[in-house]
Copies of this chain bind each other. A is one copy, B any other.
Amino acid sequence: MPQGTPHSVPTSADVARLAGVSRATVSYVLNNTSAVRISEPTRRRVHAAAKELGYVPHAAARSLRAGHSRMVLMPTPQIAVGPLFSAFFNELQWALSRFDYTVVQYGSLGLTGEEAARAWAELRPVAVLAPDATALGARGVAVLKRSGAKAVFTLGPQRAEGAHALLMDQRLVGRAAAEHLLARGRRRIGVVVPEEPGLEVFSRPRLDGVRAAVRGVAAGEVTELPLAYTEDSAAHLTDRWSALGLDAVFAYNDDYAMLLTRALQDRGVAVPEDTAVVGADDLMLARLLRPRLSSVRIELPSGRGLAELVDRVVREPGGRPEVHDVLGASVVHRESS
């Protein structure tokens, strides 16, 4: 560090001084401003100076001046999220970065809808993609829009008033499972409902989807099966299994399906002969279990397409909130059903 005060962060003024030009010129050069032509020697001097100082532009100052940022804020979901959604998340993030957005995940831990929205709004993101509509609400959406957010999306099982929605209707998952089981002659269907808090937004609609599919089917019956993700809970649930009189179970997802299947087998209940089991997410897990686990494959949309959608809304804001149904569900039939 040959120059200047040792422990201060270099600014564009420092670069200008070192290169012997004005701050304006530095800005032109470093941003490749096409409206203005800078001589090659000057460019080189500026670049050299910037490199020597280790100059990094100050994003806050830049977006303050510009009046807008290209930050897309994705609040991290409160609940632990599986590999499926993680992969989707990553793909979306990558796709958005292709559109030159800066994607930032922000954990708003334990803040209620409007408070959380205010915290996010302080960053003045150009778009917000909230995985949990409940942690937002109409009020939250309003706060974000007032703070200049051009696009507010919810992506998940619920929507929020005023926001665009990438709706992942979990009822379809339950329906697919139920229709599969019904088609295979099963009638008395148990539905695992995880007791872990925060999962209701997924488990409730999945249960509802099963109910809807079974409704009207002769002798069809749906039984809710609360289950915590522990061996004890599974043991307890299966203690008096035959008394429940179920011939099939939709187990919420593959992990719970494994837990339940194991407990059933330990009790001598034959899968699928006595009780069919269907999971969801179609993880590798499902293929490795014995019997191989039938599972609802969930199809999420391509990150690329969603990034385009977000970009479009950012460029042309003000349209009415759009609701896109973006969940596909189909059963992969294996041995457990």
Residues of A within 8 A of B (CB): 9-10, 54, 56-61, 63-64, 69, 76, 80, 83, 86-87, 90, 93-94, 97, 102-107, 109-110, 118, 121-124, 142-143, 146-148, 229, 231, 255, 258-259, 262, 284-285, 287-288, 290
Contacts and interface: CB of A to CB of B under 8 A. Distances in A.
A101 to B, nearest CB: 11
B229 A255 contact: no
Nearest to A147: B56
A90 B105 contact: no
* Most chain B beta carbons < 10 A, residue from A10, A148, A288: A288
Contacts of A284: 229, 255, 259
Closest 4 pairs between A and B when the two form their complex, measured CB to CB: A60-B60, A105-B105, A59-B122, A56-B121
Nearest to A68: B9
Contact of A54 (B87, B107, B146, B259): B146
Contacts of A86: 80
A146 B57 CA distance: 12
A58 B109 contact: no
A143 B90 contact: no
A184 to B, nearest CB: 25
Nearest to A231: B287
16 contacts: A54-B147, A59-B122, A59-B124, A60-B60, A60-B61, A60-B123, A80-B83, A102-B106, A103-B107, A104-B105, A105-B106, A231-B287, A258-B285, A258-B288, A259-B288, A262-B290
B64 A142 contact: no
A284 to B, nearest CB: 7
A263 to B, nearest CB: 9
One complex includes copies of this chain to the number of 2
Given A104-B104, A231-B287, 10 more contacts: A54-B146, A54-B147, A57-B122, A60-B64, A60-B69, A64-B64, A90-B107, A94-B110, A104-B106, A105-B107
B118 A56 contact: yes
Contacts of A258: 285, 288
A124 B8 CA distance: 13
A9 B104 contact: no
Contacts of A229: 284
Nearest to A57: B122
Nearest to A82: B83
A30 to B, nearest CB: 12
A93 B76 CA distance: 11
A255 B118 CA distance: 40
A315 to B, nearest CB: 16
Contacts of A142: 54
Contacts of A147: 9, 54, 56
